[in-house]
Amino acid sequence: MTNFFQHEKALVESASIGKNTRVWAFVHILPGATIGADCNLCDQVFIENDVQIGDRVTIKSGVQLWDGITVEDDVFIGPNATFTNDPFPRSKQYPQAFTRTVLRRGASIGANATILPGITIGQYAMIGAGAVVTKDVPPYAIVTGNPARIKGYVTDKTTRQKTQFSNPNPLPEQDLGVGGAKLYTLPLVTDLRGDLSFAEYGQYLPFTPQRYFLVFNVPGKEVRGEHAHRLCQQFLVCVSGQCSVVVDDGKRRTEVLLNRPNLGVYLPPMVWGIQYNYSADAVLLALASHVYDAADYIRDYEQFLREVNP
């Protein structure tokens, strides 16, 4: 007797199948694979030995998971998604160890997507149908195309942010509802000589800067930021062109479009920040409350979650 469902035409050689998992017709699971509880493996799925699958995973028809693949809890893999585990495959020539690919919890892989070896798909990321993923995908990112590029971010486990904060009310500051992050509308003075915008400490600028840096000449497909600070505060202004800023406190996230030089985003400590969708002429000014300290950075999102939600 088993505690999972196995269709009569499925071949299950593994003894490590979780409770209430359903294995449908023409599925083949090799002996070394580990499958969690409450999973659903649809027709014509093949799972090799060195494969680890968490709980509540759905794998649709026509998917093959090769040695070196880890699938965490609550992942969805669409029909005919293709995974690879050897960057230089040759017939009858095998590497000493296969490059490991990791799908973090809650990620979704669209139909016919191709995932190259050694890639990590971040938690709750969404891979579009037919995308060819050639490098790591950040948590909550939405990627499409060939090669796959970031097109947006989801703001919770299921939905994309529907409203970008780009044209706020005339209030000088607006709470974004994410870890104390705020959007500031800075003064704008216009006359025949041109335009001027400013901020002073205590008036629009919430800290005294100790450092500034500029980000520019960023190819539109690239992503910047992707870190948090333990102590340092930041204030971001796109002084030319435009870019999008994602702020994330580990529970909530939202997206801000900086498309005017009198808009500024305040990032407190322990808020994860991402900047992407740079226009060709974008120049991002960042003011920082502290001098550079490598130890103040948190660059791994899983580590950030552990520290912000102890």
Residue 166 near residue 259, CB atoms below 8 Å: yes
Q: Which residues, at least 6 apart from 163, have a Cβ–Cβ distance to it below 8 Å?
A: none
- CA torsion 257-157-253-146 (nearest 10°) is -40
Of residues 7, 28, 227, 290, which has the active-site annotation? 227
What number is the average pLDDT over the span 121-149? 95
pLDDT, mean over the chain: 92
Q: Which residues, at least 6 apart from 141, have a Cβ–Cβ distance to it below 8 Å?
A: 122, 125, 126, 150, 152, 153
Amino acid at the residue 69: I
What number is the average pLDDT over the span 245-266? 93
Active site residue 7: no
Q: Which residues pair with 154 in a beta bridge?
A: 160
Residue 1 has a pLDDT of 58
Residue the block writes with tokens 């090669």 = 147
What number is the average pLDDT over the span 161-178? 66
- Encode pLDDT of 267-298 as tens digits: 999 999 999 999 999 999 999 999 999 999 99
Neighbours of 199 (CB within 10 A): 19
Which of 53-62, 80-89, 197-206 has the least mean pLDDT?
A: 197-206
Question: pLDDT-based confidence at 34, cuts 50/70/90?
Answer: very high
At residue 203, the 3 state secondary structure works out as: strand
Tokens of residue 264, six digits:
């500024």
pTM confidence score: 0.85
